[in-house]
């Protein structure tokens, strides 16, 4: 009797769209793709006036040739904001200044956003083993690094316009 | 009796290092920080010669003000390479051309890398509701989008040098 009740309840739920009637391989793949996992490749170090990117030893081979570039994009994680509440913020006054207009987080570089990826262009001073010395970075010491990409001016620059609030920085 | 057996087994496991004897708040935080979770904010659409970024409706407020920028950084996921084997590749011949020197994935823009983040600078044509029309992007249709940031020339450009293999693109 309990078995029949369960079957009956499931049929009602399917009818109401509470349970999917069937999940195709395609749908299943789409659902599985809803989250992506990142692991840090290293961390930012700041000591004795030097700023370095200390990479995990196991990814050192991935640095081959980086010393031939003058600049590198550093992708890092806004780890201090990794709480649900901050990842849900969608609009801010840039730089916390209420004189700047209320702006979407995709239209400014706020450290709160749904996916906490940060991007900074840095000058490469040296690359030795698993350590890259850079000029500076707007990340705290021990910040996790996610990725590095070389800066390629022909891909990565444009004659561009920006809004007034950004021209007169506040 | 079963309770005592469980306690005894746990003591043995702790002794053998199978279970941690204790986890400090600091250690717990470090362990928790070993992985970061991303969820797509939308996807790339290509239809009738138009390329658009279709954002999820719930993040639409985050676009406020983006129409005042001429260019946007699109962060997307190299989803077709999201298998352990490809995420373990650390060196490649750029663009699959063996005439290009063997190069670390952090010294080129290869679509294989430990964290499969892709970055493309796009020209904004229009922003309407949750849809951004752009000029073009080197991502397939339906590619998941992770983040958008405005292009700010003063932060995002530099007088830079690149290696010879990149000057004479092969």
Could you tell me the pTM of the whole model?
0.82
pLDDT of residue B11: 43
CA atoms B99, B103, B108, B112: torsion sign? positive
Would you state the pLDDT for residue A31?
47
How far apart (Å, rounded) are the C-alpha atoms in residues A135 and A137?
7
Question: Can you tell me the distance from the alpha carbon of B165 to that of A41, in angstroms, rounded to the nearest whole number?
Answer: 26
Q: Which of A106, A108, A148 to mutate to test the interface with B (most CBs of B within 10 A)?
A: A106
Q: A116 CB near a chain B CB, below 8 Å?
A: yes
Tell me the per-residue pLDDT of A50-65, one tens digit each, with 9 for 90 and over.
999 999 999 999 999 9
pLDDT for A26 equals: 58
Distance CA B12, CA B152 (A): 58
Q: Cβ neighbours of residue A102 under 8 Å, at least 6 residues apart?
A: A91, A92, A93, B64
Q: Which two tokens stand for residue B52?
A: 């658009």
State ipTM.
0.82
What average pLDDT score do residues B100-122 get? Answer: 97
pLDDT confidence tier of residue A121, bands split at 50, 70 and 90: very high
Residues in chain B, total: 170
Q: Hey, is the C-beta of B108 within 8 angstroms of any chain A C-beta?
A: yes
Token representation of residue A88: 């849900």
Which pLDDT does position A5 carry in this prediction? Answer: 56
Q: How far is A19 from chain B (nearest CA, A)?
A: 23
Q: What is the pLDDT of residue B101?
A: 96
Report, as an integer, the average pLDDT of B133-155: 97
CB of B40 less than 8 A from some CB of A: yes
| DSSP annotation string for B91-154 | EE-GGG-TTSPPEEGGGS--S-SSS-EEEEEEEEEEEETTEEEES--SS-TTPEEEEEEE--HH
């Amino acid at each position: 009797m309990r078995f029949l009740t369960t079957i009956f309840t499931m049929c009602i739920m399917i009818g109401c769209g509470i349970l999917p009637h069937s999940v195709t391989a395609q749908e299943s793949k789409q659902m599985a793709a809803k989250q992506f996992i990142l692991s840090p490749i290293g961390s930012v170090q700041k000591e004795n006036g030097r700023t370095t990117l200390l990479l995990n030893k196991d990814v050192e081979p991935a640095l081959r040739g980086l010393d031939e570039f003058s600049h590198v994009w550093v992708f890092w994680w806004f780890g201090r904001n990794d709480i649900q509440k901050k990842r849900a913020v969608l609009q801010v006054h840039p730089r916390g200044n209420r004189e700047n207009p209320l702006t979407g987080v995709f239209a400014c570089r706020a450290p709160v956003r749904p996916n906490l990826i940060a991007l900074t262009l840095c000058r490469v001073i040296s690359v030795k083993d698993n350590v890259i010395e850079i000029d500076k970075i707007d990340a705290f010491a021990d910040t996790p690094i996610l990725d590095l990409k070389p800066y390629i001016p022909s891909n990565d620059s444009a004659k561009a316009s920006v809004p007034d609030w950004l021209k007169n920085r506040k």
